[in-house]
Structure 1
Amino acid sequence: MATSEASYIDYDTFLDPDFSAASFANTLVTNTNNINDTQVDLSTPLSRVLFDVQEIDTHIHNLTTKSALPLLEHTQDRSQSSQRILSQVEEQVSSLAEGYQRLEKEVLRKWASAEEARVAAQNSLQTLRLARAVARCISLGRQLESQIAEVTGRVSSSTNTSGAMAAAKDDHRAMVRAATTILMLRQMFSAIGEGEEGQGLDRVKVIRTLRSDLVIPAENTTKARAQQVINRFSVSSLIVDGSSRTSNGTQSPPPATSSSSSSTYAQTEEAKARLFSAITTLYLLSPTPKNGVSAEDFQPELLLSTLQGYIHNSLTSSLSSLARGLATLPTLDRALAEVSGRCQDIAALEALLAGLKRPSHPLLSSSTITTTAQTTEQTSNLLKPLLHVLDTSSLPSYYWRSLASSLPSRVQEIISRGGAAARSLRSGRDRLRNDLRECVLRGSQLPANVAKGRAVSGAPGAGGASVVVGNWEREAAVMVSAVVGALGR
């Protein structure tokens, strides 16, 4: 440090940026003591430090005393400069504050008002959309309620007398309308994602009540009514039996009158219409995959399971009737008539399914693949999925072969019990063979309006009232072998 007076203090050491008090004290102690002495003298280094401090204090006092006026002037100059800088800065800050206030008034406040308006408009839009969705669901619910009343034949108290008379009878076409309404409600209930039509519906209590108290019971009612229609489907009682048994010489009945033919035709058309409505209803109400599927690849599980149940019930009833008839031969003719009648129903079901195209499903997309007309016709009807599930090429063939596979064990039971029933079966083999063959062939007879468009062969003496669909000699041989063949074992 440059000074006007000589000083023994090493100011450069104290002013060094790397100065360390501990290192300086260590150096001072080692310089004032003998390192070989066992005792350390600290009084000398302490006196040295105190003397240095006193010397520095004296030096500072002399400097401030001699340079008091320059120091005061320098301090005054710095204070004045600070005041000038502060005044300039305050002017700039005041200008910035005024600009910010003007900006806040012209922009920020208007933006805040605009943001409030935007939020209010957005909330109002969401409320409007939710209200529209709720109103649509309520409207569909009222529509569904009236359609279910038509399905079940019940009439609400608000309808007038003439309306009550008209709606006293259930309308099978109302099942399809109800199924379509249920699908629309399903679509609304499932579209609850962000930005979708039904967003927020799951949080509305009235919608939850509507779904639990109306939609789900209505869907179950519609399903049950459609399944009931399919399970009760029968055209065998409408067929005019014009076939003659040449083996026992019976004559064919006289031709039916025009009025009875018209009545039979009308009843057959009504049975077809009811079946079509029930099939369409169950097709629409069948669960659809969440990942989406084309209409051509859609498998209507509810419909297929109902049709399978119908065929299984027919097989079970036919097996029981035929087993009772074989055990009690006087009732065999009636049992064979029941068995052939159920086959006629199944053959009619096959003919109707083959001619029924897949209904339009609002939740399924149509395939864009170009196919031939024949392939489209084969894949667009509802018979192919059922045949695929049953692993067969024909429903009557499946019926006869399934029935034949269960008969040998029943015949063996009758033979093993012995008695008059076993002796009658053995003695009447030829008649039993003819009766079984005629039963199979009679089971292929369908009303002409049901078999329209199918491969047919002439039915003897029916006057066009019924036709024979396909060739069933092989199935007749299987049935005969299942019963008559079991008699020889």
Structure 2
Amino acid sequence: MDNEHADPPAGSDTDNEYIDYELFTSPEFSPIEFCNSLIIGTNNESDVEIDFEASKQRVQFDLEEVEKLLHREAVEHHSELIQQASKMTAVEEIVDTTRASLSDVTASYQRLENEVLKPYNTALPIYRSLTKFHATSNLLRSLTWYLYLVRQLAIQSGTQDARSSVRAAKTFAELSRHVSNFPLLKNLKVVNDLEVAIRSKDPAMLQ
């Protein structure tokens, strides 16, 4: 059985060249495909049994070389690694502080939502309903007074004396002011019909 992967001398400069670090660090690296390639590379198609020993040795060798490389890098760049570790610690402290601040902000927002936003959202439809009810109530009150003035105008216009004419003129002026002060009255059919009667000066239509 042929073995295509002979181990290089330990500690030699060719160790790093023997290991394809780019392969292992590639985002597309697949352990399954790598194992398959090792098994195929260390066995022949004519072999009756598959030999896994050579593949295991290759993987073990790669692991040992990686560990040696990490140890060598740690020794040669000890100061730089300590500095980087210190920076990471500082960054972690900043992240922890930021996380605490975010937690406070989140808690404050939840309190605001519970104490202000939710009650406001609950009260808003009620407020709108009350506003509409209030507007309707005002319109009904203004309509009641309008109908009273119209009735008075009809009575005063039906009497043919000077005093009643003066009163009718005053009532008509007050009626005009009332409609101007409450323009929504013009949206009511009963008001529009009575306005036509007033313009025609027919007291019978005001009954």
Q: Looking at CA atoms only, which structure, 1 or 2, has the larger radius of gyration?
A: 1
Which protein has the bigger helix share? 2
Give TM-score scaled by structure 2 length. Answer: 0.42
Give TM-score scaled by structure 1 length. Answer: 0.22
